[in-house]
Structure 1
Amino acid sequence: MVIAASTNYDSNTQYFDTSAVETVIKLVMQYNSNVIMVIKSAISISCTASICEKTGSKNIMFSPKLLRKSKALYNNVYPTKLVA
């Protein structure tokens, strides 16, 4: 299952608001806790491990939402440049 939920980046705290993504994951897990979920939202790679820990699922992967292939590393290092 692909999860493409809205995320906002807070430049003051330098963190993404992943509450919408987490809500979708919890809903999915209520119906099938074994389903493999792929997050396709503007979050940093490190958020995936945090979400796995919070939800207790090891079936969550991340597929970066990037502007251009040539800018993959730059977009991940500077997340405010990601398209939300």
Structure 2
Amino acid sequence: MKIAVIGIGYVGLSNAIVLAQHNEVVLVDVIEEKVNKLNLKKSPIVEPLIADYLEHHTLRLSATLSLESACLNADFVLVATPTDYNDQTNSFDTSSVKEVVKKVSAIAPQTTIIIKSTVPLGFTEKLIAQGYKNIIFVPEFLREGRALYDNLYPSRLVIGDVSERGKTFAQLMMQGAIKKDIPVLYTQPTEAEAIKIICQYLLGNAGCIF
């Protein structure tokens, strides 16, 4: 399969590496330095395991500045752009996610979009109600500096979708993991968003690694 990953941070890059062991994966970012480093098999972020995988493992992985070329003919597009929480407004800045969803849907209307960024409750359902039907929210439970390890040895997978496309994505993630017999919980989108928020803001992501 062809998979595009938007955002070269801990979430985007660690997911991309897991998937690129068995699929063609194209990473997209607006920062040219990150793109150039990845195409030289150098990690643009500090995490020893990511650096090791890029240098020593066989990965079908490339990076580009072009969203259009990455998304054309993609089976899945993962959105891993920043959604920082503003303490003053008590809200997430989801503008980057909305913009990417809009652009990807225009470029490749049949592709399934996987939102990995942290979003508020009801965000995914609102996008679906606006006509973006091919969207799934899949929360991540990763620790900075150990993001790839947590993807290779996940405590479980939470998939905010109960259809076959959700099951297909779960299989792709499990295929690239080292840990076997990974529990998978299929939920509605808002339930998956709630699980992520509870883990991150009540327990801390580390509290969700069990």
Could you say whether these structures have the same fold, taking a TM-score greater than 0.5 normalized by the shorter chain as the test? yes
Counterpart-to-counterpart distance in 1, 2:200 and 2:128: 20
Give % identity.
32
- State which of 58, 62, 65 in structure 1 corresponds to 2:137: 62
Alignment partner of 1:26 is 2:102: yes
- 1:44 and 1:66 mapped to 2: Cα distance? 16
- Normalised to the residue count of structure 1, the TM-score between the two structures is 0.71
Q: In 2, Cα distance between the equivalents of 1:43 and 1:65?
A: 11
Alpha-carbon spacing, 1:63–1:42, altered in 2? closer, same or farther (3 Å):
same
Give the partner amino acid of 1:59.
Answer: N
1:35 pairs, out of 72, 95, 111, with: 111
Return the TM-score normalized by structure 2: 0.32
Residue of structure 2 in register with 1:76 after alignment: 197
Give the secondary-structure state (helix, strand or coil) at the position aligned to 2:118: coil
Give the paired residue count: 79
Given candidates 18, 29, 44, the residue that maps to 2:120 is: 44
Are the structure 2 counterparts of residues 32 and 49 from structure 1 closer, same or farther at C-alpha, using a change threshold of 3 Å?
same
Name the CA shift for 1:10/1:18 in 2 (closer, same or farther; >3 Å). same
Give the unaligned 5+ runs of structure 1.
Answer: none
Highest CA radius of gyration, 1 or 2? 2
Structure 2 spans left out of the alignment, 5+ residues: 1-76, 144-154, 157-193, 206-210
Distance in structure 2 (CA, Å) of the matches to 1:5 and 1:52: 19
Instruction: Give RMSD over aligned pairs.
Output: 2.7
Contact 1:44 1:79 in 2 (8 A): no
Deviates more, 1:38-47 or 1:20-29: 38-47
Q: Which residue of 2 aligns with 1:6?
A: 82
Give the counterpart letter for 2:198 in structure 1.
V
Q: Quote how far apart the aligned CAs of 1:43 are.
A: 1.6
